[in-house]
Amino acid sequence: MPVADHATYCKMLRRAQENRFAYPAINVSSLTTANAVLKGLAESRSDGIIQVSTGGAAFASGSSVKDMVLGAISLAEHVHRVAGRYPVHVALHTDHCHPQHVEGFLLPLVEETERRRRAGLPNLFNSHMFDGSTLPLKENLDTSVPLLERCAASELILEVEVGVVGGEEDGVKAGAEHASKLYTTPEDMLETARRLGEVRGAVFLLAATFGNVHGVYKPGHVKLKPSILKDGQDAVERELGPEARFFLVFHGGSGSLPEEIHEAIDYGVVKMNIDTDTQYAFTRAVADHIFRNYDGVLKVDDDVGDKKKYDPRVYLGMAEGAMARRVQEAARALRSEGTTLYRG
């Protein structure tokens, strides 16, 4: 199927919330990694989300160019062209746009969608993330509301973050000064629901924090408190009604225990970001090939090597397959396996 339209994406999110599962949201930075996600989702019979960070987008444009907007557009256009070959729905999303990149990344991509819509073309992306979590809540929401208004006018979903995810993601590290914001309070979630809920017709996602940390950790190392999400959702429902409950996003899930993931889903998580684990799966396959074929990959002792071993298509194909299998594992963990809306 083509990339999901707005109505299909909204239906995906509602269905996940009602049936207590979440979609894998996988970061990509190349055609190969995008293909791996599509392959993994299709083999899982799971719809899902392909997302691009500022750093991933810059990488995709080439090391001599490093243009975040160009890289994001290039990756999105590739997915638009090939997604129709796969029997699942996929949405396109941009990840973790910090305040300093709004003018240079998020808004140009919104403008690109606005241009496409005027030309009768589908949206480039389905949703964007503004990460104002390092700002005071009022300043975060003062920026988020007009962004949401503009996104809603073009049937784009906006993801916001309230509270800080620890660790480091895409070169941005949460410092010690953010320790008090590692757990989003019910009061902050309620204020977010009030402010964003004033934008008529808008759909938004909330990345609330409950001890989650970006990076790689052994299972059990990260101490999550999913009950934070329940407390916030309950506060919102009491004050504003059940229709105001959030579509929640789980960031920093590496090292989380299955029961913690499932509890978070039960409280309204419909999207879980996955990057670290799929990066490792991709690289592990390349390393395995090189270690096993050292004298073929390299021209050792004046030998000529083996072109069938050092052809990048060989090991990148293995990497694509390994990453696709990790995507399948994510779909099983998030209970989205076999849930696709596609009925072709």
What percent of the chain stands above pLDDT 70?
92
What percent of the chain stands above pLDDT 90?
85
How many angstroms from the chain centroid is the CA of residue 5?
17
pLDDT value at residue 329: 97
Look up residue 103 and give its DSSP letter: I
pLDDT value at residue 218: 56
Q: Return the closest-CA partner of residue 8 out of 16, 285, 280, 45.
A: 16
Tell me what the pLDDT averaged over the chain comes to: 93
Angle at 62 between CA 56 and CA 66, to 5 degrees: 65
Cα distances from 250 to residues 165, 208, 239, in angstroms, run: 10, 8, 24
User: Which residues on neighbouring strands pair with residue 247, listed in sequence order?
Assistant: 205
Residue 252 φ/ψ region, left for φ over 0, alpha for ψ in the -120 to 50 degree band, beta for the rest = left
pLDDT in tens, 74-111: 999 999 999 999 999 999 999 999 999 999 999 999 99
Tell me how far apart the alpha carbons of residues 48 and 39 are, in angstroms, rounded to a whole number.
11
pLDDT in tens, 293-325: 999 999 988 899 999 999 999 999 999 999 999
What is the set of domains in the chain, with CATH numbers?
6-333 (3.20.20.70)
pLDDT value at residue 275: 95
pLDDT value at residue 59: 98
Band of residue 175 on the pLDDT scale cut at 50, 70, 90: very low
Asked if 79 and 34 touch (Cβ cutoff 8 Å), the reply is yes
Asked if 161 and 212 touch (Cβ cutoff 8 Å), the reply is no
Average pLDDT estimate for 190-210: 97
Asked if 275 and 27 touch (Cβ cutoff 8 Å), the reply is yes
Token pair of 312, please? Answer: 């990048």
Phi then psi for residue 205, to 5 deg, are -115, 150
Q: Is 4 helix (H, G, I), strand (E, B) or coil?
A: coil
pLDDT value at residue 277: 94
Tell me how far apart the alpha carbons of residues 16 and 19 are, in angstroms, rounded to a whole number.
5
Q: What pTM was estimated for this model as a whole? A: 0.93
Average pLDDT estimate for 61-66: 98
pLDDT value at residue 37: 98
Place of tokens 């899902």: 48
Average pLDDT estimate for 151-165: 92
pLDDT in tens, 251-274: 987 778 899 999 999 999 999 999
Band of residue 177 on the pLDDT scale cut at 50, 70, 90: very low
95 noted as active-site residue: yes
Phi then psi for residue 154, to 5 deg, are -115, 20
Could you say which of 47, 95, 275, 277 is catalytic? 95
Identify the weakest region by mean pLDDT among 178-187, 220-229, 236-245, 251-260.
178-187
pLDDT value at residue 255: 72
Q: Is 172 helix (H, G, I), strand (E, B) or coil?
A: strand
pLDDT value at residue 123: 98
Average pLDDT estimate for 158-186: 66
